[in-house]
């Protein structure tokens, strides 16, 4: 049925259509606007009701901690407030694995981590006694005053499971700038061939943490090590391969920042002696290897020695140097001890550069040398002591080629000896049986004034007085470093020690001359 309708402009004309109309349901259309989420939270504070009136220290400290805890919590809630109002989805972006690794290996992270872990380790190990009563009322309960009668007390023992096990301590040195720092060098660990052969650890006496302050290592066993006297950040090491290595604790590296070349111009034999001599503005690193070669280096440039000298005796015999010592204040003349049992004096510069004199007396290789170093009213810098495999420590004067005195109390190889830096008549020596002896020549020259044996009787390799003269560090063959406190009545010199020592020396000299006369007769 078609129909045409004519209407006015506003109406339309329709087309006819045939067929039935089929009706069906359409798809439902939905419109959805999600309501904004309102973040709600509750805030609570709890005022402390008790413990406000306590006078003692400990509860107050705890309160401080409590009061400190709520403010941070309040702050975070205020932050949430601001975030809620912003309406933005500001969730922190999750880093990918690669990005995480990149951050972990970045320079800033590593240096922060190293610094941070050092500080946290110290804090965790501290156990300070806050209830200490300085008036002494509490001391009666304690086991008697420890320092009054004791002569040598073990203060600390340093060892590290990873770095010092199965290694032998080869050298010790105290830092001149920070009296609590001590460097110990170790040789190789035969049970761990993949670990670096040479290790030097810097230990810290001030804090109770028992891990090293700094860990340094290098490819060859470190036979001698020391803090560079005028450069507080540098540690020098002499190695078995003849290389001298320099570590810097400012860099984050554990490997040396500078190394001397392995060439004939430098050393090709183990370097047992390294020392920095001179003054702040004019100093040199002196090193001597066991083939008698002595090199002097500038710490800024280790690529070649400034000066080198062959130490030969009587133009033919090279001296196999095992130990070296410079007298107090002297940068030119020094003494060396050698494997053949003799001690030599030598000088660095001048027409007679080289070996000057030989001091014979030991029957075995000389293991340690120490020049008298305590300054005082009387100058004893011509005296030095030497220790040797022949079980003795001998006292010498550079003025005479025969020993002044021989200390024969030990029953085993004496490995090292050192004068006290503060007491003119006191020196320490260590031997293979694990004994540390302190000799006070003003008291007795026949037997040591104080003696202590290390637990387990390891062989003690090195002994070093701290610069204060009140502590002694010893290193042993098990890789342990022990630090002993010396009783004040022993290590602190009284005013008349120097004059007494003059008399002691005079006696020693007399006795020696008498003994010679008797021998000659």
21 versus 148: smaller Cβ distance to another protein: 21
List interacting residues with another protein (CB under 8 A).
2-3, 6-7, 9, 12-17, 21-36, 38
Q: Which is nearer to another protein, 27 or 314 (CB)?
A: 27
Specify the residue, 35 or 149, whose C-beta has the smaller distance to another protein. 35
Q: Which is nearer to another protein, 84 or 377 (CB)?
A: 84
Least Å distance, CB 115 to another protein, is 48
Closest CA to 225 of 254, 187, 251, 282: 187
Q: Please, are residues 417 and 386 in contact by the beta-carbon 8 Å criterion?
A: yes
Q: Shortest Cβ distance from residue 92 to another protein (Å)? A: 24
Q: Is the CB of 8 or the CB of 76 nearer to another protein? A: 8
Spatial CA neighbour of 414 closest among 441, 437, 447? 437
Measured between alpha carbons, how far is 434 from 412 in angstroms, rounded to an integer? 10
Specify whether the CB–CB gap between 359 and 316 falls below 8 A: no
Is the separation of the CB atoms in 355 and 342 below 8 Å?
no
| Strand order from edge to edge, sheet including 321-325 | 321-325, 333-338, 343-347, 354-359
Q: What minimum distance in Å lies between the beta carbon of 215 and another protein?
A: 59
Q: How far is the CB of 114 from another protein (least distance, A)?
A: 50
Residue closer to another protein by CB (options 11, 134) is: 11
Buried b / exposed e over 128-152, threshold 16 CB at 10 Å, is: eeeeeeeeeeeeeeeeeeeeeebbb
Give the nearer residue to another protein in terms of CB position, either 31 or 128.
31
Q: Minimal distance in Å, beta carbon 83 to another protein?
A: 16
Best CA proximity match to 209, nearest among 155, 164, 158, 175? 158
Nearest residue (CB) to another protein, 31 versus 495: 31
- Closest approach, Cβ 31 to another protein, in A, equals 5
The residue among 39 and 153 lying less far from another protein, judged by its C-beta, is 39
Residues in the chain: 521
Rounded distance, CA 416 to CA 476, Å? 11
Give a three-class secondary structure readout of 127-185: CCCCCCCCCCHHHHCCCCCHHHHCCEEEEEEECCCCCCCCCCEEEEEECCCCCCEEEEE
For residue 233, is it left (φ>0), alpha (ψ between -120 and 50) or beta? alpha
User: Using CA atoms, how far apart are residues 378 and 214, in angstroms rounded to an integer?
Assistant: 40
Which CB sits closer to another protein, 13 or 519?
Answer: 13
Find the shortest distance in angstroms from Cβ 11 to another protein: 8
CA distances 486 to 152, 403, 414, 449, Å, are: 5, 28, 20, 12
Residue 335: CA count within 13 A, CB half-sphere = 27
- The minimum distance between CB 29 and another protein, in angstroms, equals 5
Give the angle subtended at the CA of 463 by the CAs of 295 and 201, to the nearest 5°: 70
Min dist. Cβ of residue 78 to another protein (A): 22
Q: Which is nearer to another protein, 88 or 143 (by Cβ)?
A: 88
Q: Are 169 and 475 in contact (CB under 8 A)?
A: yes
């Amino acid at each position: 049925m078609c129909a045409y309708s004519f209407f006015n402009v506003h109406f339309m004309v329709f087309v006819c259509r045939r067929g039935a109309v089929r009706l069906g349901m359409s798809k439902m259309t939905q419109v959805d606007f999600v309501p904004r989420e309102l973040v709600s939270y509750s805030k609570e504070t709890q005022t402390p009701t008790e413990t406000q009136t306590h006078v003692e220290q400990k509860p107050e400290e705890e309160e401080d901690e409590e009061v400190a805890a709520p403010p941070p919590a309040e702050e975070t809630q205020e932050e949430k407030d601001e975030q809620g109002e912003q309406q933005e989805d500001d969730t922190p972006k999750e880093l990918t694995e690669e990005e995480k690794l990149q951050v972990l290996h970045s320079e800033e992270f590593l240096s922060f981590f190293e610094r941070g872990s050092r500080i946290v380790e110290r804090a965790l190990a501290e156990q300070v006694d806050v209830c200490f009563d300085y008036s002494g009322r509490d001391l009666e309960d304690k086991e008697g005053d420890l320092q009054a009668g004791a002569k040598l007390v073990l203060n600390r023992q340093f060892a590290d499971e990873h770095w010092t096990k199965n290694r032998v301590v080869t050298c010790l040195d105290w830092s001149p700038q920070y009296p609590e720092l001590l460097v110990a060098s170790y040789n190789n660990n035969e049970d761990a061939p993949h670990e670096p052969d040479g290790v030097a650890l810097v230990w810290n006496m001030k804090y109770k943490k028992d891990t090293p302050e700094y860990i340094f290592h290098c490819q060859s066993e470190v036979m001698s090590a020391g803090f560079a006297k005028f450069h507080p950040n540098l540690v020098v090491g002499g190695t078995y391969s003849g290389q001298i290595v320099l570590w810097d604790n400012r860099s984050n590296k554990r490997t040396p920042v500078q190394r001397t070349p392995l060439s004939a111009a430098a050393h090709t034999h183990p370097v047992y002696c390294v020392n920095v001599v001179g003054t702040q503005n004019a100093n040199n690193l002196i090193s001597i290897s066991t083939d008698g070669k002595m090199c002097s280096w500038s710490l800024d440039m280790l690529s070649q020695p400034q000066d080198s000298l062959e130490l030969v005796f009587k133009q033919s015999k090279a001296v196999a140097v095992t130990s070296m010592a410079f007298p107090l204040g002297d940068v030119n003349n020094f003494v060396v001890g050698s494997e053949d049992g003799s001690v030599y004096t030598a000088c660095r510069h001048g027409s007679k550069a080289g070996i000057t004199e030989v001091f014979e007396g030991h029957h075995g290789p000389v293991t340690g040398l120490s020049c008298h170093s305590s300054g005082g009213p009387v100058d004893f810098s011509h005296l030095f002591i030497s220790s040797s495999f022949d079980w003795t420590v001998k006292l010498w004067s550079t003025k005479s080629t025969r020993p002044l005195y021989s200390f024969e109390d030990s029953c085993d190889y004496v490995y090292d000896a050192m004068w006290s830096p503060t007491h003119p008549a006191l020196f320490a020596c260590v031997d293979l049986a694990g004994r540390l002896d302190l000799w006070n020549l003003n008291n007795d020259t026949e037997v040591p004034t104080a003696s202590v044996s290390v637990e387990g009787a390891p062989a003690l390799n090195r002994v070093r007085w701290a610069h204060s003269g009140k502590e002694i560090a010893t290193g042993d063959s098990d890789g342990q470093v022990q630090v002993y406190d010396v009783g004040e009545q022993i290590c602190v010199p009284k005013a008349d020690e120097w004059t007494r020592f003059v008399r002691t020396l005079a006696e020693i000299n007399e006795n020696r001359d008498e003994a010679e006369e008797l021998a000659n007769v």
